[in-house]
C-alpha cells in the first residue's frame, strides 16, 4: 500500500444489475489470458449505484486487477480505456499505482506469481477454494527501481514476449 494510491477489493451491488449499457461490472470470468475480456457475459450497474453503494470499488483505466478467490489464483489484467469508469466484484482486488510505480510494472510483477507464492501457505478457504485477503494484498512487497528502469525492464519483457509468441 506504500506504492499504490489505492488497493481495494470490490463487492456485489445489492440493487442488482441493469440490462442496458451503463458502468461495466467486472467479475473474475472477465479476466482471460491476463487481459480484461468484457465481451463474455457483460454486466452493468447504474451511475447512481457506482457513486453510492459501489463507490469503494470504482475502477478506472490503468488500474491493475488480480483475482483473490480461486483456484486458480493469479489472474491479472490492466483495466483498458474502453470505458472511463468500471467496477469490480468482491473476488477481485485493484491496485492503482502512485507516482513511484507504473501499471505495467505492477502487472508483470503480479503475473510472475511471486506475491502469491509468498503468501499461499497463509491463504484460507473452504471446499477447495483459496482466498487472499485484502490486507494480504496491501502487504505485497513490490521491488521499486526508478521509473526509467521500470520502463526499460517492461520494454524488454514485452519484446521477449513478442519474440516468443510472435
Query: pLDDT for 7-65, tens place per residue?
Result: 999 999 999 999 889 999 999 999 999 999 999 899 999 999 999 999 999 999 999 99
According to DSSP, the residues that pair with 66 across neighbouring strands are 76, 93
- The reported pTM is 0.93
Q: How far apart are the first and last CA of the chain?
A: 36
Q: Of 21-25, 64-68, 125-129, 132-136, where does mean pLDDT reach its minimum?
A: 125-129
Taking 90 as the threshold, does the pLDDT of residue 75 lie above it? yes
Put the strands of the sheet holding 86-88 in their side by side order. Answer: 43-45, 23-26, 86-88, 58-59
Q: Of 30-34, 71-75, 113-117, 141-145, where does mean pLDDT reach its minimum?
A: 113-117
Q: Report how far residue 149's alpha carbon sits from residue 27's, in angstroms, rounded to the nearest whole number.
A: 33
**The pLDDT of residue 36:** 97
Smallest CA-to-CA distance from 9 within 75, 90, 77 is with 90
Amino acid at each position: 500500500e506504500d506504492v499504490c494510491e489505492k488497493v481495494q477489493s470490490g463487492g456485489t451491488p445489492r440493487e442488482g444489475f441493469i440490462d442496458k449499457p451503463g458502468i461495466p461490472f467486472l467479475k473474475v470470468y472477465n479476466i482471460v489470458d491476463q487481459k480484461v475480456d468484457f465481451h463474455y457475459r457483460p454486466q452493468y450497474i447504474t451511475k447512481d449505484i457506482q457513486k453510492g453503494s459501489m463507490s469503494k470499488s470504482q475502477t478506472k483505466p490503468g488500474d491493475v486487477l488480480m483475482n483473490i478467490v480461486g483456484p486458480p489464483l493469479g489472474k491479472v489484467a490492466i483495466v483498458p480505456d474502453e470505458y472511463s469508469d468500471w467496477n469490480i466484484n468482491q473476488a477481485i482486488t485493484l491496485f492503482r499505482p502512485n507516482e513511484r510505480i507504473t501499471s505495467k510494472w505492477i502487472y508483470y510483477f503480479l503475473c510472475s506469481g511471486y506475491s502469491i507464492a509468498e503468501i499461499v501457505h497463509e491463504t484460507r478457504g473452504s471446499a477447495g477454494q483459496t482466498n487472499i485477503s485484502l490486507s494480504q494484498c496491501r502487504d505485497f512487497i513490490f521491488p521499486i527501481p526508478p521509473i526509467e528502469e521500470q520502463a526499460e525492464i517492461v520494454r524488454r519483457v514485452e519484446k521477449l514476449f513478442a519474440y516468443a509468441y510472435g
